[in-house]
Amino acid sequence: MAIFPPAERIWWHQPIHRVELVWIIVAFLWGLVMFFMMIYWHAVGRQNLSNETYRTTPEAYAAKTQAMIDKYQVRDNNGIPVVKPPAGSDVYLLGRVWMWYPQLEFEKGQSYRLHLSSLDLQHGFSLQPVNLNLQVHPGYEMVLTITPTSAGEFGIVCNEYCGLGHHTMTGKIYVVERPTGP
């Protein structure tokens, strides 16, 4: 109990209990392992890493996103544009309080260069139920190549607390089957 001061004023001179010492060593070693694995995972494994990042500004990023919407909007979902950019193209998704904008439609098996940035605060891009998680920062534009492997509706939630409406910050990615040619 920490309500009363320790009986011995210089409590930090007491020897560390064996169990506690073992625990500290284990935790420290595990921390070291994970530190080096972080570097290792950049090169090995099927990670969803964004190894391509640029400096940007909220204005510039919003303009690029709007240009894509103007060009490739296919429909409207409760006032939010749904955009279907061509396979292989650059796709812009922005996070802001409190939405992921716009909604995207991809074709299964095609690859896209997905750009992510924030217009205001730090947000967390979390694609569900795939559980792909990335941090999204204002002033930085991250690019990652994604290839949807299954059709359906995927939700995006924000998993970095960003204020009062954080829990309402959602978005959507639709993945449709590739149309079979004539």
Say which amino acid occupies 57: T
Local structure of residue 178 (DSSP, 8 states) = P
Smaller CB separation from Cu ion, 162 or 173: 162
* Distance of closest approach, residue 179 Cβ to Cu ion, in angstroms: 35
For residue 127, give Cα distances in angstroms to 33, 70, 146, 157.
27, 25, 12, 7
CA separation for the pair 21, 2 (Å, rounded): 21
The answer to whether residue 108 forms part of the interface with Cu ion (CB under 5 A) is no
162 touches Cu ion (CB under 5 A): yes
User: How many residues contact Cu ion, by CB under 5 A?
Assistant: 4
Residue written as token pair 């890493």: 49
User: Shortest distance, CB of residue 162 to Cu ion, whole angstroms?
Assistant: 3
**Among residues 71 and 167, whose Cβ is nearest to Cu ion?**
167
Of 158, 171, 173, 174, which one interacts with Cu ion (CB under 5 A)?
158
Q: How far is the CB of 136 from Cu ion (least distance, A)?
A: 10
In the complex, the smallest distance separating the C-beta of residue 115 from Cu ion, rounded to whole angstroms, is 19
b/e sequence 48-81, b meaning 16+ C-beta within 10 Å:
eebeeeeebeeeebbebbeebbeebeeeeeeeeb
- Which residue in the set 64, 108, 113, 166 belongs to the binding site for Cu ion (CB under 5 A)? 166
Rounded CA separation 181/122 (Å): 42
**Positions 23 through 42 that interact with Cu ion (CB under 5 A):** none
CB nearer to Cu ion: pick between 23 and 161: 161
CB of 75 to Cu ion, least distance (A): 26
- Which is nearest to 107 in space by CA: 60, 151, 146? 151
Near Cu ion by CB under 5 A, which window of 10-18, 69-77, 101-109, 169-177? 169-177
Could you give the CA distance from residue 78 to residue 43 in angstroms, rounded to a whole number? 41
Q: Which residues lie near Cu ion (CB under 5 A)?
A: 158, 162, 166, 169
